[in-house]
Structure 1
Amino acid sequence: MESPAERPARSGDASPADSTVTSDTIPISHLARAAYCPRQYYYAERDGDHGPPRDVAAVRDLAFEYEANRTATDEELRRLPIAVSPGRYRSNLASLAERDDYDRLAAPAVREAFLRGRDCHGVAHKVLGLGGETGRADGHRGAEERNGSDGRDDAAPPTPTVVSPGDPPPQGVWEPQRVRAVAVAKALAWEREREIPRALVEYPAHGVVRSVRLTTRNRGAYRRTLWTVRSMRGVPSRIREESKCDACDYRTTCGTKTRSLKTLLGLG
C-alpha cells in the first residue's frame, strides 16, 4: 500500500520538462501518477493538472545537501523540511555516507538530466557515473532494441536517480516511484545505447536512498502502466484500494465513495 505522502497528484514528481510534449512518448511523471491510480491520472490529464506543489522544490533540494546536513545542528535541521527528528536525520545520513556511491550521490556531476527514451521522456534528478557527458542525439535506438548487441562497454553503467519528496515504505519503494525509476533507467538506456541495470529512489526528507533493479517484476509493472496510459479511452474503473482516495484531490468528484451496495458485495 502506497503512503498518501507518495500520491503523484501532489507529490511533486512532475517537473516542467517532464510535461513537455515530445512526439508520442509519455512524460515519466504521468506514468508514476497512473501507477498510483489510473482514475486520478485520467482526471489530471483532463484538467491539465500535472504541476507540482510549491513546497516540493525545498524538499528536493535536500538531496543535494547531504554532506552539509550531516554535521548540521538540531536548530539548523529544524529549519529544513525534514520528516524525522534531527537526531534520526543525522543518523540516516551517517548510514547513507557508508554507501560506495555516496560521494557521487552527495555531489553528482549531472543534475536534472532530461532523458528521451523510446516510450517515455522526463527528468532524472541525478545521473551517477556519467561525468559531464550528454546523451546521444535524438533518433538513436537504445541498447534494449538493437539486434545482436546489449550496448555494454568497459565502463560501469551510469545510475539515474529519482528524488521523491514523500515518505519511504519500510522496505523498497512505493510502486509509483518503482515505475518511475524503471522509466528513467530505460530512457537512459535508450540514449546511451547500453543496459542500465538499476536506478535509485531518494527520499531526502528522511535521508534514505533505495535501489530499484530492472527485474522482470519491475519491468512488468512499468509495461502495465505504459499500456494503461496508452489504452485509456475514458474514465478508468475505480480502484479497490480506497485508502488512496483520502489523499486525492479528486475524491469529491471521482465517485469512489459512492459505490452501490451491489458493487460493494461484488455483484456489480
Structure 2
Amino acid sequence: MPTFRDLATAAYCPRQLYYRRRDDETPEVPDSVAMRRELAYEYPRLLADADLDDEPIAVTATQYRSALHRAKARSEAWESLVDPADRDVLLEGRDCRGVAHKILEEPVAPSLLFTGEPPDTGVWQPQSVRLVAAALALSYERERPIDIAFAEYPAHGVVRRVSLSAHRRAGYRSTLRTVRSIDGPPSRVRNRTKCETCDYRDSCGVRTRSLGSLL
C-alpha cells in the first residue's frame, strides 16, 4: 500500500519515486526538519515572550509573530491546533497509509507540518495530494466524512485550511493511479528545475542548466 510520502513524491516527480523504490530507500528526517516541526507545538509560547532569535524560524521575529497572530485570528481550529487530540498518528486508509502530525477534534481533521516555504496562497500540489490522502484515511478510520485538512508551516507561522474540493480529490486520484502504475522508469518531468536538487539526477541522466543559461 503506498504511503502519503509516496503520493507526494509522485505528484512532484514520478521518476523520483521509482528510483526511491528501486533503491528501497526511506528518507530520514533531518534534525533541522524535526526542530522546525516542534515549533508547531509551541505556538502559545512563541506568541508570548519567547526569544525568537533562538528559534529555527525562517523569517524575522516581527514577521513570524504577525503571521501567527493572523493564523490565530482567522482559524476556527486554533485551540485544536495548539492542543491536538493526538500527534504523529499512523493512519491506515483504504488506498494508502501514513502519519498525520496532528489529529484535531474540533473540527475533526488531520494537520500536516511542512517545514519549507509556503506559496503565496493555498498549498503546493504535492502537499495538496498528501493532505487529501491524510483526510481520506482519517475518514476511512472514523467512518465519517471529513472534508478539510490543515497545512502548517511552523517555521513561517503560517496555517492554511484546505478543503477537499473536487479538484483536489481529482489530483489525488490521478496521483494514486500513477503510483499504482509504476513498474519501470516513468517519463522525465518537463519542469527540469525540479531536477536541480534531486538526489537521483545523475542516475536519471538529466542535464540541468543554470538560471543564467536559461535566461
Q: TM-score when scaled to structure 1? A: 0.74
Q: What residue number does 2:25 align with?
A: 49
Identity %: 50
2:53 maps to what in 1?
A: 78
The CA distance in 1 between the partners of 2:53 and 2:17, in whole Å, is 34
Instruction: Report the Cα offset of residue 34 of structure 1.
Output: 0.9
For 1:117, the equivalent position in structure 2 comes to: 93
- Tell me the alpha carbon deviations over residues 217-262 of structure 1, each in whole angstroms, 9 at most, x when there is no partner: 101111111111110010010000111111211122212218xxxx
**Equivalent position to 1:232, from 179, 182, 186:** 182
- Ranges in structure 2 where 5+ consecutive residues have no aligned partner: 209-215
Q: Distance in 1 between matches of 2:155 and 2:69?
A: 14
Partner of 1:106: 82
TM-score normalised over the length of structure 2: 0.91
* Distance across 2 between alignment mates of 1:209 and 1:122: 21
- 1:81, distance to aligned residue in structure 2 (A): 1.3
For 2:56, give the aligned amino acid. P
- Over residues 191-233 of structure 1, what are the superposed CA-to-partner deviations in whole Å (9 max), with x where a residue is unaligned? 1111100111111000101122111110111111111111001
CA–CA separation in structure 2 for the residues paired with 1:127 and 1:245: 33
Q: What pairs with 1:143-154 in structure 2 (closer than 5 Å)? A: none
- Aligned residue runs from structure 1 range 7-18, under 5 A: none
Is 1:188 aligned to residue 164 of structure 2?
Answer: no
1:187 is paired with a residue whose SS is helix
* Structure-1 residue corresponding to 2:163: 213
Task: Give the whole-Å Cα distance in 1 for the aligned partners of 2:3 and 2:199.
Answer: 21
Counterpart residue identity of residue 54, structure 2: R
Larger Rg belongs to: 1
CA apart distance, 1:54: 3.0
**Structure 2: how far apart are the matches of 1:245 and 1:33?**
13
SS of the residue corresponding to residue 55 of structure 1 reads helix
Which of the numbers 38, 41, 48 marks the counterpart of 1:61?
38
What is the SS of the residue equivalent to 2:207? Answer: coil
Q: CA RMSD in A?
A: 1.6
SS in 2 for 1:211: strand
Deviations along 1:151-189, one digit per CA (max 9) or x if unpaired, are xxxxxx511111111110011000111000000000011
Question: Whole-Å Cα distance in 1 between the matches of residues 118 and 31 of structure 2?
Answer: 21
Please list the CA deviations of residues 126-156 of structure 1 after superposition, one character each: whole Å capped at 9, or x if unmatched: 11117xxxxxxxxxxxxxxxxxxxxxxxxxx
> How far has the Cα of 1:111 moved from its partner?
1.1
Secondary structure of residue in 2 paired with 1:125: strand
Q: Which has the larger helix fraction?
A: 2
The correspondence of residues 88-107 of structure 1 with structure 2, limited to 5 A, is: 88-98=63-73, 99-107=75-83
1:256 to 201, 206, 209: 206
- Report the count of equivalent residues: 207
Structure 1 residue runs without a partner (length 5+)? 1-24, 131-156, 259-268
